[in-house]
């Protein structure tokens, strides 16, 4: 059995059992070895080299949508709300590649045609609600207290000292630490919803469990991924046209390894 999910299947496509029929799906997430994190990124590279043209077009459209969302009032909120829908479409594109079918730019919007698209939007709504709640509880008090003192110092023409900046930095660290479980719940939710027809809450709970069980592989994934992101940002962030497909493809590869036996 090949470990590359983008390799064309050796069995006829007519024998393929779709994921949404629970073919090969394991209810209990697999615990992978630490090195799997780097392998998933390597498979993401394999996904990109398999169909570079469509991937570049998908990434270009992704960036254009992000720019428009930033300009239009309320666009950023809508983009974050629909983020799982776009990811689900990309996962459907990766699934098509696994089945020996072509990846196309239209896959970016394929999630909007999913019969349970409402559950994908609900995943985005839960995530946004969690982010807002964390910001309200953690960052708002810190910014009100620390930010006021900092603003006062700048207005008075004095140089801010560490005592003024430290609460804000600590608040940001606490915010990021509390945001991590929410990101873990979001990570596998789109493919679990679109392939396994799971309700949003169940998909997010299972995603969190899978990420928690695979802490070491994702630690390696994060370290290697950081280096990829760093390289992609030099020069002029042009490398993100390759890095984004790598991250998308690696997400699908990790989903297949953790949740499927085939």
d(CA 3, CA 43): 9
**What's the rounded mean pLDDT across residues 210-220?**
97
Specify the pLDDT at position 226. Answer: 97
The length of the chain is 262
Confidence of residue 4 (pLDDT cuts 50, 70, 90): confident
Taking only the tens place, the pLDDT of each residue in 127-160 is 999 999 998 888 777 777 666 666 666 666 666 6
Q: What is the mean pLDDT of the chain?
A: 88
Note the pLDDT tens digit of each residue in 86-137. 999 999 999 999 999 999 999 999 999 999 999 999 999 999 999 999 988 8
pTM score, two decimals?
0.86
Q: How far apart are CA 93 and CA 70, in angstroms?
A: 26
pLDDT at 13: 33
Q: Which of 164, 51, 32 is nearest to 105 (CA)?
A: 51
Given this model, what pLDDT does residue 22 score?
A: 46
CA distance 1 to 17: 16
119: nearest Cα among 192, 179, 207: 192
d(CA 7, CA 1): 11
The mean per-residue pLDDT over the stretch 53-60 comes to 98
Question: What was the pLDDT predicted at 20?
Answer: 43
């Amino acid at each position: 059995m090949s470990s590359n999910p983008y390799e064309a299947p050796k069995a006829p496509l007519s024998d393929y059992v779709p994921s949404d029929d629970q073919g090969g799906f394991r209810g209990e997430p697999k615990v992978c070895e630490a090195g799997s994190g780097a392998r998933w990124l390597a498979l993401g590279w394999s996904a990109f080299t398999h169909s570079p043209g469509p991937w570049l077009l998908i990434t270009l459209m992704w960036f254009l949508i992000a720019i428009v969302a930033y300009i239009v009032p309320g666009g950023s909120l809508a983009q974050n709300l629909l983020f799982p829908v776009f990811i689900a479409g990309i996962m459907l594109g990766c699934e098509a590649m696994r089945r020996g079918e072509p990846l196309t730019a239209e896959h970016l919007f394929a999630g909007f045609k999913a019969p349970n698209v409402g559950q994908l939007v609900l995943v985005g709504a839960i995530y946004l609600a969690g982010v807002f709640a964390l910001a309200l509880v953690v960052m708002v008090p810190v910014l009100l207290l620390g930010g006021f003192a900092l603003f006062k110092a700048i207005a008075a023409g004095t140089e801010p000292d560490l005592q003024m900046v430290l609460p804000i930095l600590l608040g940001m660290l606490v915010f990021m630490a509390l945001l991590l479980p929410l990101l873990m719940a979001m990570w596998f939710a789109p493919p679990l919803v679109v392939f396994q027809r799971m309700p949003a809450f169940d998909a997010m709970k299972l995603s969190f469990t899978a990420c928690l069980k695979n802490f070491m592989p994702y630690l390696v994934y994060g370290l290697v991924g950081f280096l990829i992101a760093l390289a992609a940002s030099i020069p002029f962030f042009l490398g993100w046209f390759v890095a984004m497909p790598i991250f998308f493809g690696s997400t699908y590869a990790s989903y297949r390894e953790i949740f499927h036996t085939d």
